[in-house]
Structure 1
Amino acid sequence: MTRLASVVMSEQRDTSRAPRRMTPKRRREQLVTAALELYGRLPPEEVAVEDVTRAADCSRALFYRYFPNVESLHIAALGTVVEELIDRVAMPAAGDHDARLSLETQLRGAVDAFLDVAQRHARAYVALLRSGSVISTGETDALVDGVRDHIVDLLVLRGGVADPSPLQLMTLRGWVALVEGATLTWLEQGEVGRQVMRDWLVAQLFALLEVTARYDPR
């Protein structure tokens, strides 16, 4: 091999490696990204510090500058999934160009976004929702509660219900629980097409609200 070819190959290898000097924020984001990529191949509870440092091309000492242990990295990584869920699961506010769409159409879009994030981060989503998971903690439970509250608040707001009754709130929270449980089964078994899954979940909400209307004069 000529020296020129050797230099070119060396430069190619160097550009493929993670930059050695990063801002603290960028390095932390890199470690979180590495963890999320590993979740695509392994359950989060099986991802160790060595796996992350290898994927991020950094030392253990550098890892421990940003996270005291792998559990704290799991929480940070799962937190980014939750942030994406909250950011993506939205319905147009009054005045938005899509606000003319029917509530059913808006809801279909929100459920589709939810399923998209859950599917792309399937192992992380399962770890978040499985109470028996070894990475399930009070902090991860709080992350999940944040998503639930966001969805219920969104439905109340877009449904135009200023003061929802107890039965209405129970209906919405029950539907969110249905979405969570059904999505877990869907991810693990994959026996239902995504479009069917989305439309079924939307129809379930309207069916539940119809039943609630029989018992709630509000």
Structure 2
Amino acid sequence: MTVPAGPRRMSPQRRRAHIVAVALELYRRLPPERVSVEDVARAAGVSRPLVYRYFGSAEELHAAALEQVVDELLAALVVDPGGDLLADLRTALDVFLDVVERHAVGYVALMRSGSVLTWGQGGVQRVRSHIESVILRRIGDGHRLAVVGWIAAVETTCVLWLQERPMPRAAFRDYLAALLVAMVGVTVQR
């Protein structure tokens, strides 16, 4: 585990952050729904009741961890409204793929079938809405159908790419950028 054990005495904010960091580290190896409060407590070097003091359930812990990842991702997905659209899209995709790769096991679990449990829906929707609004501010609301479809395609193909790696990351990023251009091109023709 790369998250070092914290000092015995921590402020409540630091203790909570430490527990979330440990949970995120565990999610790199196991889907969140397979990580128990006991697993997190053991890895964090704290008691199970202490984890429950900060998080009322495993779902609350999962949601807090996901929210941290979402907050980091949204803070990093900032584009220059006057910049080159395609270059900005590639940069934003690099940021997104950094997060997806760093949290690959959790991402795949979250995006698969029923894994977007109630604790994950809000965070996933925040990312979708943010990406949609950033793109539509640049290209116009008339392309919403294409953008929403593209976001769904990105989520699905990221799962496949993480599992099979059919192409290098840079080629995959460029593929995703070209896919958006093509989808928007279809809406322009309609």
TM range (shorter): over 0.9
Match of 1:151 in 2: 131
- Structure having the larger proportion of residues in helix: 2
Matched, 1:130 2:118: no
Contact 2:132 2:148 in 1 (8 A): yes
Greater than 3 Å deviation, 4+ residue runs:
none
Q: Report the CA distance shift for 1:78/1:89 in structure 2 as closer, same or farther (over 3 A).
A: same
TM-fit CA distance, 1:139: 3.6
TM-fit CA distance, 1:17: 4.3
Q: TM-score, normalised by structure 2?
A: 0.92
- Residue 132 of structure 1 aligns to a residue in which SS? helix
Match of 2:157 in 1: 182
Q: For 1:6-43, what per-residue CA distance to the aligned partner results, in whole angstroms no more than 9, with x for missing partners? A: xxxxxxxxxx7421111111111111000001112222
Matched, 1:55 2:43: yes
* Paired AA for residue 193 in structure 1: P
In 2, the alpha carbon distance for the partners of 1:139 and 1:54 equals 23
Contact 1:128 1:141 in 2 (8 A): no
**Any stretches of 5+ residues in structure 2 without a counterpart?**
none
Contact 2:20 2:65 in 1 (8 A): yes
- Residue 114 of structure 2 aligns to a residue in which SS? coil
Q: CA RMSD in A?
A: 1.4
- Residue 29 of structure 1 aligns to a residue in which SS? helix
Q: TM-score, normalised by structure 1?
A: 0.81
The range that moved more, 61-70 or 147-156, is 61-70
Contact 2:62 2:119 in 1 (8 A): no
In 1, the alpha carbon distance for the partners of 2:162 and 2:60 equals 25
**Any stretches of 5+ residues in structure 1 without a counterpart?**
1-15
Match of 2:122 in 1: 142
In 1, the alpha carbon distance for the partners of 2:132 and 2:160 equals 22
In 2, the alpha carbon distance for the partners of 1:92 and 1:68 equals 40
Matched, 1:203 2:185: no
1:25 to 13, 18, 21: 13
Q: For 1:145-190, what per-residue CA distance to the aligned partner results, in whole angstroms no more than 9, with x for missing partners? A: 111110010011233x3xx22xx11011011111111101111112
- Residue 169 of structure 1 aligns to a residue in which SS? helix
- Residue 183 of structure 1 aligns to a residue in which SS? helix
TM alignment of 1:1-218, pairs within 5 A: 17-94=5-82, 99=83, 102-133=84-115, 136-159=116-139, 161=140, 164-165=141-142, 168-215=143-190
In 1, the alpha carbon distance for the partners of 2:70 and 2:113 equals 16
* Paired AA for residue 94 in structure 2: D
In 2, the alpha carbon distance for the partners of 1:149 and 1:189 equals 28
In 2, the alpha carbon distance for the partners of 1:139 and 1:43 equals 13
The range that moved more, 105-114 or 136-145, is 136-145
